[in-house]
A and B are shown apart, each in its own frame.
Chain A
Amino acid sequence: MEFKRPTALLDACTHYCGGCGHGIVHRLVAEVIDELGIRQRTIGTAPVGCAVLLYDYFNCDIIECAHGRPPAVATGMKRVLPDRIIFTYQGDGDLAAIGTSETIHAANRGENITTIFINNAIYGMTGGQMAPTTMIGQRTTTTQDGRDITSEGPPIKVCELLSSLDGVAYLQRVAVSTAKDVIKAKKAIKKAFVNQIEGRGYSLVEVLSMCPTDWKLTPKQAVDFVNNEMKKVFPLGVYKDKK
């Protein structure tokens, strides 16, 4: 097999840190867009977060949104252009803190969009503050002694939370920390796009993703952190698959 750059990715060097999960997920999304032949009718939304420069990497139309608002922006676009493919790509601060309301309501309306949710348990872009998905005991720049359940509460589990909404079509949590995980992640992402093409409604793939820089770990340690710590708190699997 020849290993080429997907057409849906631009020939650019990303700004992501070494060992960051964002680059892997970008590639998976691009491969899926290529395989489904939808690049020329796909519009992506860029979040505020480390992936804000999405438009420098994806070879399709992109709209950059305010922090947390991609589900609302995507709703507006999809309702106007129902035959186009709209995806949001959001971090945990974007999707599960400032944008919680937009996420829950777009999901509950069953908006026919695809959401790629990067859970790296931290705020990457702003330098490592606590995220809604930061785990108990995890040290961040705003929880320097570790997240304390009594004052910060436990991490929000997005797939579990959204699974109670009848409007949601598909929820799966995957990882990109082993080769096997990457293959599974791609399958899930593909299904989330196919669902949209087939008009099934809101599909979200949560990806446990490495942030070695703000975790203050080496890339290898970061992979181990996902495999040994995150997967325990955020079990992988399908949380919803509406027939």
Chain B
Amino acid sequence: MSSQGKILLKGNEVMSEAAIQAGCRFFAGYPITPQNEVPEYMSKRMPQVGGTFIQAESEIAAINMIFGASAAGARCMTSSSSPGISLKQEGISYIAAAQLPCVIANMQRGGPGLGNIRASQADYFQAVKGGGHGDYRLIVFAPSTLPELYKLTMNAFDYADYYRNPVMILGDGILGQMAEPVEILPYEPIVELPEKDFVLDGCKGRKPRVLKTLFLRPSMALVRHNDLLQASYKKITAELKLHEETETDDAELVIAAYGITARIAKGAVKIARQNGMKVGLIRPITLWPFPDEPFKRAARTADRFLVVEMSGGQFIEDVKLASECKKPVEFLGSGGGWYPTPDNIFEKIQTIYETEALVD
């Protein structure tokens, strides 16, 4: 199939168009900056493709509409930003428990509380470690450019269907607001999509189906259900870790960053290399499952890690776990609207080189 050529779109619009291309036909959301372009775009596009757009009365209602739409068999999506994602946590837990596919986007902004509307990566724990109640996992994608946002959004629908698990696109205000030329490539499923044998569409020609998350009887029913969920998470962990490495082969210092921060860090790697410093970058593309192997490898070959993130230090915990704390992990980050430039990161690299005397 031929592509429709490159067009200049904002990140929020890129993600929305990718969803439409991937066959998303139900969107519910509630306005919040910096993701307002998503509901705005969807309100215009959904009717054009015969889909449904609903401006919900709250993020709680929106995520529950997704619960219903997914149960009814639609490819569906909701998006929000940090405070709104907090409100969605109840629904996310139910959706994960019922093993319903859907895509949830968080264009993160500053927190805690109302925070501000600048970009942030402070919802890492919420996205990756839980957020809602109970033992569940979200598949979390962290795109770092708009073409990647386009591709991963499409993939998110496939993985959600394939694993019957909600997928979160963890972006941020910069990714959502920036504009870049993006090629609107046609959708091709990247996995063989299973039949949706859970859909509630009336019991014509079959036995009635029940979608539920309450398991009272027999007494071990919930344990069994949780074991089932864990088995699914194990499968996902074994199959879906994605990452990108830049110049890590001979690196003495390995930067770890994800999303937009990784894109900025790539610039710092370039500057460092121009200055004769052996610096590389590991960029997780999936934050859950976390790609631990590259960090294990780097812990053997490099001297030190440098984590860069737009938070007070959340992602760093997974880097330490993955690298088994075998090498020191430096940190550059802050919450609430701070973002790094390649020069900032390069300065930090210089400081590390000066004070820690990295040697081969």
Q: Which residue numbers of A lie inside 8 Å of B, CB to CB?
A: 39-43, 46, 52, 55, 58-66, 69, 72-81, 84-85, 101-102, 104-105, 109
Contacts and interface: CB of A to CB of B under 8 A. Distances in A.
Contact of B57 (A60, A73, A81, A101): A101
Interface string B45-79: 00000001010111011101111111111101000
Given A75-B65, A76-B28, A76-B67, A64 B203 contact: no
Contacts, number: 132
Nearest to A85: B202
Contact of A60 (B54, B90, B203): B203
12 contacts: A58-B208, A59-B203, A62-B210, A62-B211, A66-B67, A72-B56, A72-B68, A75-B54, A81-B201, A101-B61, A102-B57, A105-B56
A84 B200 CA distance: 10
Nearest to A45: B68
B26 interface: yes
Interface centre among A60, A62, A79 (most CB of B within 10 A): A79
A52 B204 contact: no
B212 interface: yes
A73 B56 CA distance: 12
B267 to A, nearest CB: 43
A210 B59 CA distance: 34
Given A42-B202, A80-B26, A73 B67 contact: yes
Instruction: Give 5 closest A-B pairs by Cβ, nearest first.
Output: A76-B68, A72-B64, A76-B69, A80-B72, A76-B65
B341 interface: no
A85 B62 CA distance: 21
B200 A43 contact: yes
A158 to B, nearest CB: 17
Contact of B72 (A41, A55, A72, A77): A77
A102 B71 CA distance: 18
Contact of B60 (A59, A72, A77, A84): A72
Give the one of B94, B208, B212, B214 with max A CB within 10 A: B208
